[in-house]
Structure 1
Amino acid sequence: MPGTATLPVAPAPRRLPYRVEALEGRAAFDALEAEWNALLARGPVDLPYVRHEWLAAWLDAFAPRARLRVLVARDPRGAAAGFAPLLEERRSGAIWLVAPANDHSCRVEWALGPDASGAAAALWGHLRDRLRWDALLLRDLPRDGPTSALLEPLARADGHLTGRWESLRTPWIALGGEGAEARTSSKFRANLRRRARRLGEMGAVAVRREDGRGDLEGALRELFALEAAGWKGARGTAIAADPRTVAFYRRVAGDAARRGALAMRALTLDGRAVAAQLGLVHRGVYALPKIAYDESLAQVSPGQLLHREVVAECEAQGLAELDFLGPDMPWKRDWEPRHRPHDWLYVYRPSIAGRAMHTLKHRVRPAVKEALSWWR
């Protein structure tokens, strides 16, 4: 009617196509294995380190008594669209939700299906509205991966505070074409040839291959012993120094062997391993979680000579990429790699506690660190 004020009508709340449930405990997580891996195979993050069996091995080894929550996004028919595994921790009175990960995890992503954007929005909505937490931490997220690219904008749009620390710049090389070795420097190639000749003068050189159908336990013992004999053993950080880490890599290797993804390689001198790799082959990519070499033979670079053989084998098999995993290192740079940056992504509630933690972590500490660097 003329002269009647029209009140604004609030828009109807946007209904997400997915409902989310929060499951707790290992039994609930274990029951998800088949649909977890099936979803990964259809989505953008089909990586070995996101597979259910990898996470189960990690939990058994490093966090068997942790409080595990798994957020599950499902469509109206009940089909899974995304999984977000999180551990709840108490730190100085604050509640943290963290990815189940450590230095052995390689890379972290949520398990997202083809509709990664919709699933991530649903998972975030449940985190935001239904769970108690002060801070969320996902470590070693590929910066350009879907979890990283989707989660932070969602959180910031809802007024949450975020911060990042770069953790890794992981090297990788494309395979094929003229060949990865041909793309390296002429000096590096000449060094490889010279060192191969010198090693050959010391005895009989061969490459031993293990895919799980032979002596897998023996191959693992070789790898662990080589690593423990070097600087990692001296520092107490070798796999063999911690029974939990030994159990984790045994489990990872066994699981990979059962699905035909294991590629353990050793360079031998008169039958004795002088370099070893634990490799995984998945979706055309050779990934390298662990290496070791005899440091007493560093002058002939047995690790690089083995890697040369592995690169040639991967290219002969038609693989598309070799992913070194882990941090950038001088020996990896010899292969002229490209790099994938990874971050620790932090999300904080816009509460007094959350704002205080954000200020301390991402403003005060960087300022102090910079001041100390100037002082030194």
Structure 2
Amino acid sequence: MLAPRPVPHVRSSVFRGDLADEWDALVDRVGGSPFQRPGWYACWWDAFGSGTPELVTVRRDGDLVAVLPLARRGLVVRTLTNWHSFVDGPITLDKEAAAELVERVLHRGRWMLELSHLLPDDVELTRRAAQARGSSVQTSTVQRSPYVPADLTFADYVAAREARRLRQLERRRKKLAETGRVTFEVHDGREDADRVVEEFIRVEGLGWKAAAGTAIASQPSTDRFYRSVAAWAARAGMLRLPMLRVDGRAIAGELDLADGRAVYSLKAGFDPALRQCSPGLLVMLDTIEWSLERGLGYEMLGTDEPYKMRWADQVHVIRRMRIHPRTPAGQAARGARLGLRAARKGLAVGREVAKRALAAVAERRSQAS
């Protein structure tokens, strides 16, 4: 099984043990995502966590019916999310459990609550409960994440794409085939997971991501995180590693999770030496076909960049909430935040005024000469 590289980090037992088993069972029961499981949060916390982790739970007749992990950092309580996250939010058995959990979450934020990567239903439920308490609520969009729904056949999906781009991609596939025998396979982590993950990390780090510092191996924290996620997902039967090969050599791939609803593309990469053959797009299209043939959707994750929206028609709108309670501390925090925002806006306006003044001076000097 995969062994993450040793990296200094702070581990927490809050996501492990008997409660984790109950938590996983609840996720299974309500159809939650891999990103709401204790295993995911354990990997995330070990790589990125700071402050004190807190689990907000609701029990009914001794059974766990709702859970949401948070982190208290100073006076602020936040969800366990960053740009490596997808959808967060509470796991709840029913509406009553959800309402009780939200009340308990709101009670934790005496100064400010920041709940991020929420879907619209969770945002609306939390907003109503917070405003009923007299709290101030600000929401913003974190990302619009493209996806291919599971209720399509691959033929339906292809029919909705631009014919010109499909023809272009097919020509590039033929061009790639001129370099050697092209194969596509999806590894599930049951055999030889260490080798395939290493192959993927090598390929993912070959291109621009390494230069930009966003490749998995670029930072110790991200290296540990994705290796740990792969190890956890392999144990849980959720790891998927689509790989495109030429004569057996990996030239493009994805590090994905899968459950009964979708394949989730965490990371993707390709060999830039074959850029003209578009191996990254080829492996994505092959993975979409593989997913739809099995009744699964395909989640691209990330934002609605133009190249992604050529291959998807729908997006999840993922939101962030900042909640300041109706307390002196909460309103002081809100005022400080609004003041900082106004100061930043004023600085930007000041820079623009100065820029225009300098341009006017330069214009007068050019006219005088």
TM-score (norm 1): 0.83
Correspondence for 2:103: 125
Q: Runs of 5+ in structure 1 lacking a partner?
A: 1-24
1:68 aligned to 53, 66, 84, which one? Answer: 53
Q: How far, CA to CA, are the matches of 1:140 and 1:348 in structure 2?
A: 18
Q: Runs of 5+ in structure 2 lacking a partner?
A: 1-10, 356-369
2:299 aligned to 318, 323, 326, which one? Answer: 323
Correspondence for 1:222: 199
Task: Give the alignment's Cα RMSD to 1 decimal.
Answer: 2.3
Matched, 1:184 2:184: no
Paired AA for residue 26 in structure 2: L
Aligned residue for 2:255, secondary structure, equals: strand
Q: How far, CA to CA, are the matches of 1:181 and 1:366 in structure 2?
A: 48
Q: How many positions carry a matched residue from both structures?
A: 339
1:86 aligned to 70, 78, 100, which one? Answer: 70
Correspondence for 2:360: none
Correspondence for 1:350: 326
Alignment of 1:130-169 (within 5 A): 131=108, 133-142=110-119, 144-145=120-121, 147-169=122-144
Aligned residue for 1:283, secondary structure, equals: coil
Change in CA separation of 1:350 and 1:174 when aligned onto 2, cut-off 3 Å: same
Correspondence for 1:20: none
1:47 aligned to 17, 24, 33, which one? Answer: 33
Correspondence for 1:18: none
Q: Is the 8 A contact 1:181 1:335 kept in 2?
A: no
Give 1:369 deviation, angstroms: 4.2
Q: How far, CA to CA, are the matches of 1:217 and 1:326 in structure 2?
A: 26
Paired AA for residue 318 in structure 2: H
Aligned residue for 1:179, secondary structure, equals: helix
Change in CA separation of 1:318 and 1:188 when aligned onto 2, cut-off 3 Å: same
Q: How far, CA to CA, are the matches of 1:369 and 1:227 in structure 2?
A: 38
Correspondence for 1:11: none
Aligned residue for 2:115, secondary structure, equals: strand
1:224-258 superposed Cα distances (whole Å, 9 cap, x missing partner):
22222222211222110222222221222222222
Q: How far, CA to CA, are the matches of 2:163 and 2:271 in structure 1?
A: 25
Change in CA separation of 1:355 and 1:337 when aligned onto 2, cut-off 3 Å: same
After TM superposition, where is structure 1 displaced by more than 4 Å over at least 4 residues in a row?
Answer: 366-371
Q: How far, CA to CA, are the matches of 1:237 and 1:105 in structure 2?
A: 15
1:36 aligned to 12, 20, 23, which one? Answer: 23
Matched, 1:170 2:145: yes
Q: How far, CA to CA, are the matches of 2:345 and 2:247 in structure 1?
A: 51
1:297-317 superposed Cα distances (whole Å, 9 cap, x missing partner):
222210111112112212222
Give 1:214 deviation, angstroms: 2.4
Correspondence for 1:372: 348
Give 1:355 deviation, angstroms: 2.3
Aligned residue for 1:71, secondary structure, equals: strand
Correspondence for 1:5: none
TM-score (norm 2): 0.85
Paired AA for residue 277 in structure 1: E
Q: Is the 8 A contact 1:85 1:99 kept in 2?
A: yes
Paired AA for residue 333 in structure 2: M
Q: How far, CA to CA, are the matches of 1:128 and 1:343 in structure 2?
A: 17
Change in CA separation of 1:371 and 1:342 when aligned onto 2, cut-off 3 Å: farther
Q: Is the 8 A contact 2:180 2:247 kept in 1?
A: yes
Aligned residue for 1:318, secondary structure, equals: coil
1:128-161 superposed Cα distances (whole Å, 9 cap, x missing partner):
44x463001112212x24x322111100111001
More helix per residue: 2
Aligned residue for 1:199, secondary structure, equals: helix
Aligned residue for 2:178, secondary structure, equals: helix
1:287 aligned to 261, 264, 268, which one? Answer: 264
Correspondence for 1:59: 45
Aligned residue for 1:180, secondary structure, equals: helix
